[in-house]
Amino acid sequence: MKTSKSLKIRDLSFKYISNSRPGLGLIVSKKYGDSVQRNLFKRRCRSVFKTTIIDNKKLYSVVVRPNKQNVSHKSINESFARLYDQFID
């Protein structure tokens, strides 16, 4: 059985595992903010995941959890870029 790896980058915590197809899971509690803020965070993560992981043909499943409220889009981009650098083929 495969085990996932954990990584904390800036304002996000990641768990990832090599998989046969890419996937994204999001864990955003109500402590993050109201539904508008939570959904904005999720939309941004999905967009960055698509451009960073899927478009570069990396086969990893990733679970993302914010470590604080109001994570900026710039921070999400930088965190996913550093996560991408961790993937070794």
Per-residue pLDDT at 1: 52
On the question of pLDDT at 8 being above 80, the answer is yes
On the question of pLDDT at 89 being above 60, the answer is no
How do 12-18 and 5-9 pair as beta strands?
antiparallel
> Of 48, 56, 1, which Cα lies nearest the Cα of 26?
48
Per-residue pLDDT tens over the stretch 16-50:
998 888 999 999 999 999 999 999 999 999 999 99
Average pLDDT over residues 81-87: 91
Prediction pTM value: 0.90
